Structure formats: C-alpha cells, structure tokens
C-alpha cells in the first residue's frame, strides 16, 4: 500500500513537470540562427494548448506563426538558394491534409493563430491551439514569418507569411518515462508503429 502511494505521488510530480515546455526563440537569417529574442511557453490546459510568447525585437503587427515538422532552425539550401530556417521543413501535417488553413480548421495541424507584435516590437499576447497536444510539439520547431497569415493557400500559398524570421526548436521531454508506466508502454507502442498517423 505504501509503495502504491509513493508511485502515485511520483506520477503526479512527473506529469506536472511535463505540463509546460519553454521554447527559446531566435532570429533567423540566410546566415543561420542569430540572436535570442525570448521564449514561447507551451502549456497544456483543460481547453487544449496555450502558447504564451515573451518575445522582443520583432516587426510590429500580425505575424504568421506555425508549428513546423522538423526540430531544426538551420538554413536549407536548394537550387543554390538559401532559406532561413529551411531545415524546419513544412507546416506540421501528420494527417497529410496538404492544405494550409485556420488553427481551428481541417488543414495542417501545425497552423497556429497569428502572433500579435505591439509597436515596441514585443509580443506577449497568449494564443490558443485547440487541436494540438504537448506530444505534437516535442522535437519540432515554432516558426514566425515576416508577413501575416490569412489561413488560406490563396492568393498566396501557406497564408502568405513569406520568409521565416524567427525560429525555436521544441526540446524533447527532459527524462525518459518511468519503467513500467503507462507512458512508457505508450512510447514503446508508438516506436513499434511509426506510421500510425
């Protein structure tokens, strides 16, 4: 009995520890990853994911903001053209929707609400991502674009946000799940069937 209580306590401590992820954000250019401009805190709430930016040095106004599929903010080179944070890949799209849409829509799952930057270049207004869970974020990248996002592929593809100006890699959970826990079993099952989604 004592052991059960101890295990329950450990479990609740562990789940508190992973209920929130701090993602360090950096400016990105065709030279690579630049200056750090703050953090975005990703947390699980009863209504889905909340993203709380604490950022500076961004251009004022609305900025396109997405979860991209790969956990890298490095440049990518294609046909001699260098793309800032190109290594982050495309918008996270586990269901292969193949279309850009609204955060509450049926397009890319990584399509997030636009990020509001105030006239002093800081961004602190929290955003909701109702379709995502924390598991979606691990090992991927948050990307901020030069332009706004109209949640459509028209008239321009991917919301019209254009170049990637800031990026942050979402760190993997700090520790492996405890042996014998439900989480460990789930992780193992996931690894055994990598093409589930």
Q: Where do contacts with Cu ion occur on this chain (CB under 5 A)?
A: 66, 143
Cβ proximity to Zn ion: between 38 and 111 the closer is 111
Binding site partner of 143, from Zn ion, Cu ion, none, Cβ cut-off 5-8 A by kind: Cu ion
**Least CB distance to Cu ion at residue 142 (A):** 9
Q: What are residue 43's DSSP bridge partners?
A: 20, 50
CB atoms under 10 Å from CB of 63, counted, come to 23
Angstrom CA distances, 107 to 18, 102, 103, 153, stand at 27, 7, 8, 10
How many alpha carbons fall within 13 Å on the CB side of residue 168? Answer: 26
Nearer to Zn ion, 69 or 111 (CB): 111
CB of 102 to Cu ion, least distance (A): 14
Report the partner that residue 111 touches, choosing among Cu ion, Zn ion, none (CB closer than 5 to 8 A by kind). Answer: Zn ion
- 87 touches which of Cu ion, Zn ion, none (CB within 5 to 8 A by kind)? none
The least distance separating Zn ion from the CB of residue 162, rounded to whole angstroms, comes to 13
Q: What are phi and psi of 18, to 5 degrees?
A: -105, 10
Beta bridge partners of 118: none
Residue 169 token pair: 């890699």
Nearest approach, Cβ of 127 to Cu ion (angstroms)? 14
Residue nearest to Cu ion (CB): 66
């Amino acid at each position: 009995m004592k052991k059960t209580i101890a295990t329950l306590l450990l479990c609740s401590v562990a789940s508190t520890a992973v209920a929130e992820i701090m993602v360090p954000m950096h400016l990105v250019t065709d030279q690579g990853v630049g200056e750090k401009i703050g953090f975005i805190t990703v947390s699980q709430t009863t209504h889905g994911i909340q993203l709380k930016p604490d950022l500076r040095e961004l251009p004022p106004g609305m900025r396109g903001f997405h979860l991209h599929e790969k956990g890298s903010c490095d440049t990518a080179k294609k046909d001699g053209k260098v793309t800032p944070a190109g290594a982050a890949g495309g918008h996270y799209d586990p269901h292969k929707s193949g279309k850009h849409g609204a955060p509450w829509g049926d397009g890319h799952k990584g399509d997030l609400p636009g990020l509001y930057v105030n006239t002093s270049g800081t961004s602190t207004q929290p955003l909701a991502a109702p379709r995502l869970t924390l598991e979606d974020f691990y090992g991927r990248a948050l990307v901020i674009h030069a332009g706004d996002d109209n949640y459509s592929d028209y008239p321009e593809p991917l919301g019209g946000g254009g170049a990637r100006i800031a990026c942050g890699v979402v760190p993997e959970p700090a520790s492996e799940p405890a042996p014998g826990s439900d989480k460990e079993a789930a992780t193992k099952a996931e690894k055994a069937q990598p093409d589930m989604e």
